[in-house]
Amino acid sequence: MRHYLGISDEEFIRSKQVPMTKKEVRILTLVKARIPANGVVWDIGAGTGSLSIEAANLCPQGKVWAIERRPEAISLLRLNIANLAVPNIGIIAAEAPDGLEKIPAPDCVLIGGTGGQLEDILEAVHKRLRPRGRIVLNCVTVQTMYNALSWFRAHEEQYDYEAVQVQVSQLRRVGNYDMMQSDNPICIIAASPKHHMEVA
Amino acid sequence: MRHYLGISDEEFIRSKQVPMTKKEVRILTLVKARIPANGVVWDIGAGTGSLSIEAANLCPQGKVWAIERRPEAISLLRLNIANLAVPNIGIIAAEAPDGLEKIPAPDCVLIGGTGGQLEDILEAVHKRLRPRGRIVLNCVTVQTMYNALSWFRAHEEQYDYEAVQVQVSQLRRVGNYDMMQSDNPICIIAASPKHHMEVA
Amino acid sequence: MRHYLGISDEEFIRSKQVPMTKKEVRILTLVKARIPANGVVWDIGAGTGSLSIEAANLCPQGKVWAIERRPEAISLLRLNIANLAVPNIGIIAAEAPDGLEKIPAPDCVLIGGTGGQLEDILEAVHKRLRPRGRIVLNCVTVQTMYNALSWFRAHEEQYDYEAVQVQVSQLRRVGNYDMMQSDNPICIIAASPKHHMEVA
Amino acid sequence: MRHYLGISDEEFIRSKQVPMTKKEVRILTLVKARIPANGVVWDIGAGTGSLSIEAANLCPQGKVWAIERRPEAISLLRLNIANLAVPNIGIIAAEAPDGLEKIPAPDCVLIGGTGGQLEDILEAVHKRLRPRGRIVLNCVTVQTMYNALSWFRAHEEQYDYEAVQVQVSQLRRVGNYDMMQSDNPICIIAASPKHHMEVA
């Protein structure tokens, strides 16, 4: 198993139908998730599994649950897990929030693809997240960014959160030149429960 | 003929081999070029002709010279000029600075693709540019950006210039969502000759 | 009067309280607005007046109505109009949609600051916009971008629209170096009424 | 000592004269540096020390050497190290490449501010870097980006490298709205020595 974060994108098998979180966004997402070495991680909308696999490498004594509903994505996920020989990932073939009730309570929840169920997923996560837990969302659409920010605004008594938009351009050599090729921008929201009890 | 700037990208015939300047960059480039209605414009590295065609619409009493060396780009250029029925464009099939000596002195020079001849092109343009003229470069590589800025730094007694990097993301509807799809960033440098004579 | 678009930012008097639309965003906004030379333009949330003033230069036989509610912005607006000697701007000191009912029907509507009244403003504009008119919105917040896109989605029978996010970085000389200084990203939405009548 | 990466920017004391690498860029830089727990890290142009301090947290059995020439930056660096109680940082008050000859050979070299000595620094680093080492550069100017890429192109027999440009915008709450505030873009180049011996 690799002990560092930052597997190159080329090591994952991909398909056109299942977009993959790119390396720099994976790094930021997983660092912001503050995954404990023995942690339980939920990866909701796991897609190709690039986040699940790197998360699993960060919690060798823990376990990652990859929740994914699309059969073609699940196939890719299985291929990538086998290919990179990651032992500590369980796959839940379901459309979240379905399937979340039967897995252990999470230390960290990664939310990518949400199929329009964002609020229901956030409510389900809210009920199960451990007190020192972290939620990290990757939003690629205006609507998901808005809905996620709205949910955290509505729950600001319960969560501290921060959000950034990140735009990465890869420098690619073309002969004597370096061109910049842009990935699409993504909004990363990272949240922690507030600890009112401690104050009392 | 259209009297406004901002033809949509879909109206130009394109090919994978010949990248096209996208709408927002075309608009910024052509506004910064301050093309007079009766002006002479050189479009060096004309490619698909999107800049030449919109420039020609801005100088109905003037003329645009499209300089391009690649046969497949020249074919596209001819197709697009015919298709959009633009009467005031002349094509120079040459690798600039070759071919520049035989066309009229320019009011505005647009520099896109340069095939590694950037300094020679800038020297040739410098000799011919009219006193109230404008030069606008679009740089997509680190090396072109650096070389162009170096040239203007070396000629700062003769030119005022400004430079911006522009990153555009298109919002594309995907069902109920709007995704952002990023174009590659581009550096636009716009320059005018200084007028020392006027001070004296 | 200037006959080109693209006044430099330094020519406008500004204040910390009243943010100004920067040059490149002004250019894109005003080109996308396709202002007729004799057009009527509404600039809703005019702020420092940089958009109003450049719009007025584009319609020398027309008129721009600058709608602004904040007294300190109105002062700046007056100063900038006087300073740049633009004759064809009228100021409406009101919080839109108030004040819109008494001015002539617009060819072009620019919407910047909206003070939370976005839907009401869009409804008011929708009722008055001329058949060949244009609406261009500049959105700097996630919520305004979402609300504006939602309104156009709900009115897609009546409007064609496009949206881009634009991020501009200025290259600033610092000795022998050029640093990139980023402006904040902005979403520009440009819309035209659909012409169902023509089909019949 | 903290065992996670990603200290918030507010925890560092800063000044206007000494710009600080922002959180997301720190995370990417330090993950790409692949710092071993017992590693030796050089932080060239350490500035406020934000990279040095987070690097030190990643190598609790190793040591970070912060090289910085400006007295006001060294003061800040000392303050931040004391404030965050990081035991394993040594300060070298010198202008690199001066001062590098007397410290242990590095596993990881972070290069930020370079004061125009980039090539000399890269040559000095090249001579001392351990075989499994990493070099990560943060470039904020066009010239540094160009010079660094040129050096790695000239040394492509010896190094594998990748480069990205990263643009981060912070979402800041302003009442009911979230505005995006952009940090300046930065180019991150990460390089590893090639291992020709292994092929034989």
Instruction: Indicate the pLDDT class of residue C199, thresholds 50, 70 and 90.
Output: very low
CA distances from B37 to B61, C4, C30, C54, C131 (A): 6, 11, 19, 19, 29
Which residues in chain B have their CB less than 8 angstroms from residue D182's CB?
none
Q: What digits encode the pLDDT tens for the residues A144-166? A: 999 999 999 999 999 999 999 99
Residue B200 has pLDDT above 50, yes or no: no
Residue D96 has pLDDT above 90, yes or no: yes
- Of C106, C138, C134, C118, which Cα lies nearest the Cα of C24? C138
Q: What digits encode the pLDDT tens for the residues C8-19? A: 999 999 988 888
Number of Cβ within 10 Å of residue C197's Cβ equals 7
Residue C68 has pLDDT above 70, yes or no: yes
- Of C63, C49, C39, which Cα lies nearest the Cα of C13? C49
Mean pLDDT of chain A: 93
- Of B189, B167, B178, B161, which Cα lies nearest the Cα of B22? B167
Residue D73 has pLDDT above 50, yes or no: yes
Q: Is D167 on the interface with A (CB under 8 A)?
A: yes
Which helix (H) or strand (E) is A168 found in, with range?
strand A159-174
Instruction: Indicate the pLDDT class of residue B187, thresholds 50, 70 and 90.
Output: very high
Task: Give the closest of A24, A164, A178 to D28, CB-based.
Answer: A24
Chain centre distance of CA B131: 19
Q: Please state the rounded mean pLDDT for residues B113-139.
A: 93
- Of D98, D102, D90, which Cα lies nearest the Cα of D43? D90
HSE value, Cβ hemisphere, 13 Å, CA-based, for B63: 10
Residue A114 has pLDDT above 90, yes or no: no
Cα R_g (chain B), whole angstroms: 17
Task: Give the closest of A146, A167, A185 to C142, CB-based.
Answer: A146
Question: What is residue A157's predicted lDDT score, i.e. its pLDDT?
Answer: 95
User: How many pairs of residues across B and C have Cβ atoms under 8 Å apart?
Assistant: 71
Is A70 in contact with A18 (CB distance < 8 Å)? yes
Q: What digits encode the pLDDT tens for the residues C128-150? A: 999 999 999 999 999 999 999 99
Question: What is residue C17's predicted lDDT score, i.e. its pLDDT?
Answer: 81
Question: What is residue A2's predicted lDDT score, i.e. its pLDDT?
Answer: 42
Q: What digits encode the pLDDT tens for the residues D98-149? A: 999 999 999 999 999 767 899 999 999 999 999 999 999 999 999 999 999 9
Dihedral angle, C-alpha B29, B35, B41, B42, nearest 10 °:
-20
Interface of C with B in 7-26 (CB under 8 A): 24
> Which ranges constitute the DSSP H helices of chain C?
23-33, 50-58, 71-83, 118-128, 142-154, 196-199
Question: What is residue C197's predicted lDDT score, i.e. its pLDDT?
Answer: 57
Token representation of residue D169: 């915008």
Q: Please state the rounded mean pLDDT for residues C88-114.
A: 94
Is A11 in contact with A26 (CB distance < 8 Å)? no
Residue with tokens 């080329």: A10
Q: Please state the rounded mean pLDDT for residues D168-179.
A: 95
Q: Please state the rounded mean pLDDT for residues A82-106.
A: 96
Instruction: Indicate the pLDDT class of residue A199, thresholds 50, 70 and 90.
Output: very low
Mean pLDDT of chain C: 93
Which residues in chain A have their CB less than 8 angstroms from residue D168's CB?
164-167
Task: Give the closest of B149, B167, B185 to D142, CB-based.
Answer: B149
Burial D21-46 (b: 16+ CB within 10 A, else e): bbbbbbbbbbbbbbbbeebbbbbbbb
- Of A149, B89, A174, D162, which Cα lies nearest the Cα of C146? A149
Is B131 in contact with B192 (CB distance < 8 Å)? no
Residue A85 has pLDDT above 70, yes or no: yes
Number of Cβ within 10 Å of residue C160's Cβ equals 12
Those residues whose C-beta lies under 8 Å from the C-beta of residue A198, and which sit 6 or more positions away, are: none
Residue D188 has pLDDT above 70, yes or no: yes
Residue D172 has pLDDT above 70, yes or no: yes
Residue B198 has pLDDT above 70, yes or no: no
Across the interface, whether the CB atoms of A166 and D166 are under 8 A apart is answered yes
Those residues whose C-beta lies under 8 Å from the C-beta of residue C119, and which sit 6 or more positions away, are: C147, C151
**D50-58 vs D23-33: helix crossing angle, rounded to 10:** 40
User: How many pairs of residues across A and D have Cβ atoms under 8 Å apart?
Assistant: 71
Q: Please state the rounded mean pLDDT for residues D57-85.
A: 95
Instruction: Indicate the pLDDT class of residue D196, thresholds 50, 70 and 90.
Output: low
Question: What is residue B195's predicted lDDT score, i.e. its pLDDT?
Answer: 81
> Which ranges constitute the DSSP H helices of A84-186?
118-128, 142-154
Question: What is residue D40's predicted lDDT score, i.e. its pLDDT?
Answer: 98
Which residues in chain A have their CB less than 8 angstroms from residue D163's CB?
170-171, 178
CA distances from A49 to A5, A115, B93, C69, C72 (A): 14, 17, 50, 51, 53
Dihedral angle, C-alpha D14, D17, D19, D20, nearest 10 °:
-20
Question: What is residue C116's predicted lDDT score, i.e. its pLDDT?
Answer: 81
Across the interface, whether the CB atoms of C24 and B166 are under 8 A apart is answered yes
Which of helix, strand or coil describes residue D46? coil
Which of C147, C171, C172 to mutate to test binding with chain B, by most B CBs within 10 Å of its CB? Answer: C171
Is C149 in contact with B178 (CB distance < 8 Å)? yes
Q: What digits encode the pLDDT tens for the residues C72-87? A: 999 999 999 999 999 9
Mean pLDDT of chain D: 93
Q: In chain D, how many H helices and how many E strands?
A: 6, 8
Distance from CA of B188 to the nearest CA of D (A): 13
Distance from CA of B185 to the nearest CA of A (A): 7
Number of Cβ within 10 Å of residue D160's Cβ equals 12
Q: What digits encode the pLDDT tens for the residues B8-64? A: 999 999 988 888 999 999 999 999 999 999 999 999 999 999 999 999 999 999 999
Dihedral angle, C-alpha D127, D130, D136, D139, nearest 10 °:
-10
Q: What digits encode the pLDDT tens for the residues A2-33? A: 456 889 999 999 988 888 999 999 999 999 99
Decide which of A115 and B196 is more confident. A115
Those residues whose C-beta lies under 8 Å from the C-beta of residue B119, and which sit 6 or more positions away, are: B147, B151
Q: What digits encode the pLDDT tens for the residues B133-185? A: 999 999 999 999 999 999 999 999 999 999 999 999 999 999 999 999 999 99
Instruction: Indicate the pLDDT class of residue D199, thresholds 50, 70 and 90.
Output: very low
Is D77 in contact with D84 (CB distance < 8 Å)? no
Question: What is residue B2's predicted lDDT score, i.e. its pLDDT?
Answer: 42
Beta bridge partners of B44: B67, B111
The pLDDT > 90 percentage for chain D reads: 88
Those residues whose C-beta lies under 8 Å from the C-beta of residue A75, and which sit 6 or more positions away, are: none
